[in-house]
């Protein structure tokens, strides 16, 4: 195992990782396509266990057919299903989109609320989706944890084998400066999507390997 890795404190590792991302990350924005908060919420709900690329193929026609929550709220699950059938779990997502639109119309005057408690009352919106909305739509410091963030944080050693997304979120929030939380969310997602991939991480081209727990234990032999 790397001596450098062994002697580094967690705080030190965070500082090195954050500095590397600040210097090298090309993008810190969502790859979902949208033009307003309603469209973003639709896209994020669809993105659960589905790639952003697939969602971006689905949403243009969906947004044209249901341009505002009021139009979607008046639709049927079957009508929405026809537009999202190539997405994962289209039946459940069609019902959630309808429930979301009806909730927005009934309780929030057709607008997406900007606080986490209200967001969590919306069908199809869990903690990750709510945090995405806070971070992306409202520029509020938040750390949404999806499968990429969960995996990358654990591999690098930013978390200590956390068992749940909430545990990961709490540890990341503890160590990452508040003003960088939303940006760091995108850093970790994109790193997990293109470099620290699930099955065979591309350690040979990863700029974080000097501070990475996985690299020290599995690639650099003692």
Residues annotated catalytic, as ranges: 128, 146
Q: What is the distance between the alpha carbons of residues 200 and 173, in angstroms, rounded to a whole number?
A: 28
Residue 47 corresponds to which tokens in the numbers above?
A: 């993105």
Q: What is the distance between the alpha carbons of residues 111 and 201, in angstroms, rounded to a whole number?
A: 40
Q: Which residue has the tokens 């520029």?
A: 139
Q: Which residue has the tokens 């700029």?
A: 207
Q: What is the distance between the alpha carbons of residues 94 and 135, in angstroms, rounded to a whole number?
A: 24
């Amino acid at each position: 195992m790397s001596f450098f890795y062994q002697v580094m404190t967690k705080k030190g590792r965070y500082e090195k990782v954050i500095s590397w991302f600040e210097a090298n990350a090309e993008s810190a924005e969502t790859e979902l396509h949208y033009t307003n908060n309603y469209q973003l919420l639709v896209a994020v709900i669809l993105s659960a266990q589905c790639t952003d690329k697939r969602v971006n193929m689905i949403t243009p026609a969906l947004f044209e057919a249901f341009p505002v929550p009021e139009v979607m709220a008046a639709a049927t699950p079957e009508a929405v299903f026809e537009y999202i059938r190539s997405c994962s779990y289209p039946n459940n997502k069609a019902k959630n989109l309808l429930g979301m639109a009806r909730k927005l119309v009934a309780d929030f005057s057709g607008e997406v609320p900007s606080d986490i408690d209200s967001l969590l009352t919306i069908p199809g919106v869990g903690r990750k989706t709510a945090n995405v909305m806070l971070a992306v739509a409202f520029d509020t410091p938040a750390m949404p944890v999806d499968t990429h963030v969960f995996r990358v944080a654990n591999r690098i050693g930013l978390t200590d084998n956390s068992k749940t997304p909430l545990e990961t979120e709490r540890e990341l929030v503890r160590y990452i400066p508040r003003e960088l939380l939303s940006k760091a969310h995108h850093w970790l997602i994109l790193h997990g999507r293109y470099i620290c991939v699930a099955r065979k991480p591309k350690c040979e081209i990863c700029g974080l390997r000097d501070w990475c727990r996985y690299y020290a234990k599995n690639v650099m032999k003692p």
